[in-house]
Structures are given as C-alpha cells and as structure tokens.
Amino acid sequence: MTGPGRRQARLADQIRIEVAEMLAGELSDPRIGFATITRVDLTADLHHARILVSVMGGEEDGARTLEGLSSASGYIRRELARRLG
C-alpha cells in the first residue's frame, strides 16, 4: 500500500495507540471501566475519526463507560491534536 492509504492507516494506528494510552493512565473518570480501542476509522481527508471501543462487563457497565468517554471527548480531542501535531 502506498500513498494516501498508507498514511491513513499509519495515522489511524497512531490515534489508536494514543487513545489507548489515555484510557490506561490519564482518564480518571470512575465511570470508565475496562475499555479497549478496537479500531479507528478515518475519513479520506483525515479530518474525522471514528474510534470503536469494546467494553468488558454488562450493558450497564458499557453504558457507564460510554457516558464517561463521551464526557472526556473534549480532552481526548485536545490531547490528540497536541500529540499528533
């Protein structure tokens, strides 16, 4: 794979790594349970990312975790922008 497709894949992988690190050590919201970043989908222009998350536990745990992640989305966006330059 060469060109934009390769760049898109590298950036998606870097975003996955950075968000996983944030989940592991920086986000202290007690609502966020055991979550794993499963995939990052980027638009062709690289301006928007969809981050797919897998949550261990039941529906209630998943709902609480997604609520906590939604609350932390601004921080996650700012940190990604800062880290990825």
- Does the pLDDT of residue 34 top 60, yes or no? yes
- Does the pLDDT of residue 63 top 80, yes or no? yes
Q: What b/e string do you get for 36-66 counting C-beta neighbours within 10 Å, with b at 16 or more?
A: ebeebebeeeeeebebebebeeeeeebebbb
Provide the pLDDT for residue 73.
Answer: 94
**Phi, psi angles (nearest 5°) of residue 57:** 115, -170
- Does the pLDDT of residue 1 top 70, yes or no? no
Least confident of 2-16, 53-67, 71-85: 2-16
Average pLDDT over residues 28-43: 93
